[in-house]
Amino acid sequence: MAKDIPTSRVRRGAKLGKLVADQAVRGVGVTLSMVRDSDEEHLARTERALVDAAEDIVTVLGSMKGLAMKAGQLLSMFDLLAVFGTDAVPPRQRERFQRKLAVLCDQTPHVPFARMRAVIEADYERPLDTVFAEFDEQPIGAASIGQVYRARLADGRAVAVKVQYPGIDIAIRADLKNLTLVMRMVRTVAPALADHAIYREIAGHFADEIDYRIEAEHHRVVAETYRDHPFIRIPEVFPELCTARVLVTELVDGHRFDEIVAMADSERNRVGEILLRFYLGSMVRERRFTGDPHPGNILLARDGKVIFLDFGLFKHMDETAVEFEIACIRAATEYRSADLRALFVEYGLLEHDSPATSDECLRLLYEVSGWLLTDAEIKIAEDTAATSILALIDPRRGHFENWRREYAPAEHAFARRVEYGTLALLGKLRAGGNWHRIAREWAYGDPPRTELGVLEQHWLASQG
């Protein structure tokens, strides 16, 4: 039986504080060992440290759930070996570490059904069997703030019922107060992800996730936006059955992300293009998008459509932010470095007197987003997202000193979160394509060059 989720700020802060300290000490120990160990000894020590670190993160964050676990899920998307200051870890150890950390995405501890049933009945103010004709007590999935169950309505429709963990609202509020500790933990493992703007933005949205009625409205908007889409499917939501702590949606079935990864190149490339069109295309074209790209939110239906789940983290982009994104793509694509730097300054991304030159701005953008700016077929490697992020924080790359003190507006930081999250998914798929040609549809209004692009263009025309 799972233990209660710790809800007090002191208890949760103590857990996070110990985790931060342990990771820092472990990282220093590995670095110092390089001086005295042989290559073989250092490799063994590094492997032990990696495994211990992953297990600590899974154990502590997985038991806490809430905002801390959301941070862990975010970290599981990227290559975290930078915390140990080495690129020399062989693939076997690297993969073992990532597998350990990835447990946070879909193998969280389960809360007994009796306690979850109490949440459902309290919100509906009536017995469970008067709401659902059938209800399977065995959860089919677990998320950072709830568990998902299979059920059936009186009219025979199969539904997925997401129920919040009891006490998770209190735990999240405690985590928001302890946000500084969460940021210290993230900075220890992946400094680029600890930007204060993006974490303030995520914290604000995560507070909204406590009320599933807000997520239900987000879900309804996205489902309506993509209704009858040729290759994207959003399950229906049942707003009349959604409460603050219970979310009811259409039950869907399909291949999980790890199954997609094992498919043929052509299918992985196709899914990769769909991910790009959904996550980044929605941001640029619709001015609203889901901010949580990760494997647990993606299924491949038998009819070939990609199913997207979970709309708790949802963002509206204002016109200025979208215009800035498009203008930067155009300036970089056309190698107008002076214009690019002027855009950075005008938007507030760079101080006017910053030592970063125009050419350095252009070079940085190509290092972090070159996969979108280069007109060529590019196969995304698994470490591409981490390499892009490290361009900003690795002193050896030449950008660290110029950019370490710059302030990223929240919307820009959030857009980068979606870009790098999408890039990490493409890396896990090892997907290939001319990503720039797809981006030109949004940045320049170019006609589509892919079969999926043509299908989407026809669908958009039919939507008026």
Task: Tell which of 157, 188, 204 closes a domain.
Answer: 204
The answer to whether residues 274 and 321 touch, using CB atoms and an 8 Å cutoff, is no
Has residue 297 got a pLDDT over 80?
A: yes
In a domain, 159, yes or no: no
Residue pair 284/327 in contact by the 8 Å Cβ criterion:
no
- Residue 368 near residue 361 (C-beta atoms within 8 A): no
| Weakest-pLDDT range from 195-204, 234-243, 307-316, 380-389 | 195-204
Are both 342 and 198 inside the same structural domain?
A: no
Q: Specify the 3-state DSSP secondary structure of 353.
A: coil
By DSSP bridging, strand 306-308 and strand 232-233 are parallel
Q: Are residues 198 and 54 in the same domain?
A: yes
Query: What is d(CA 369, CA 338) in angstroms, rounded to the nearest whole number?
Result: 18
User: At residue 22, what is the residue type?
Assistant: D
Domain range for residue 447? 316-463
- Is residue 233 in some structural domain? no
Provide the phi-psi class of 135: left if phi over 0, else alpha when psi is between -120 and 50, else beta. beta
d(CA 357, CA 83): 29
SS3 content of the chain, % helix, strand, coil (to 5): 60, 10, 30
Q: In this predicted model, what pLDDT tens digit does every residue of 299-333 receive, in sequence order?
A: 999 999 999 998 877 778 888 888 999 999 999 99
Tell me how many degrees the CA angle 252-99-280 measures, rounded to the nearest 5: 55
Q: Give the H or E element holding residue 426.
A: helix 410-429
Q: Does residue 123 lie within any of the structural domains?
A: no
Q: Check whether 265 has a pLDDT greater than 80.
A: yes
Spatial contact of 408 and 343, defined as CB atoms under 8 Å apart: no
Do 320 and 199 reside in the same domain of the chain? no
Reduce the DSSP state of residue 62 to 3 states and report it.
helix
Q: CB burial class (10 A; 0-12, 13-18, 19+) of residue 315?
A: buried
| Inter-residue contact 191 to 393 (CB < 8 Å) | yes
200 and 320 both lie in a single domain: no
Element (H, E) at 148: strand 146-152
Does residue 5 sit in helix, strand or coil?
coil
Residue 62: inside a domain: yes
Q: Higher model confidence: residue 61 or residue 368?
A: 368
Confidence band of 101 (pLDDT split at 50, 70, 90)? low
Q: pLDDT digit string (tens) for 395-451? A: 555 555 566 555 667 777 778 888 888 998 999 999 999 999 999 999 999 999 999
Would you tell me how many other CB atoms lie within 10 Å of the CB of residue 367? 16
Whether 306 is in a domain gets the answer no
For the stretch 102-121, pLDDT in tens is 655 544 557 889 999 999 99
pTM: 0.76
Mind listing the pLDDT tens digit for each residue in 134-172?
A: 999 999 987 778 899 999 999 999 999 999 988 887 777
- Residue 102's Cβ-side half-sphere holds a number of Cα atoms within 13 Å equal to 17
User: Which of 262, 255, 258 has its CA nearest to residue 304?
Assistant: 255
Whether residue 2 lies inside any domain: the answer is: no
* CA–CA distance, 244 with 130 (Å, rounded to integer): 19
Number of domains in the chain: 2
- Residue 355 within a domain: yes
> Cα 293 from chain centroid?
4
For tokens 């993509």, the residue is 226
Q: Which residues of 263-274 are buried (b: 16+ CB within 10 A; e: fewer)?
A: eeeebbbbbbbb
pLDDT of residue 455 exceeding 80? yes
Answer yes or no: is 56 within a domain: yes
> Looking at per-residue confidence, does 59 or 373 come out higher?
373
Last residue of a domain, one of 204, 224, 253: 204
Residue 191 or 359, more confident = 359
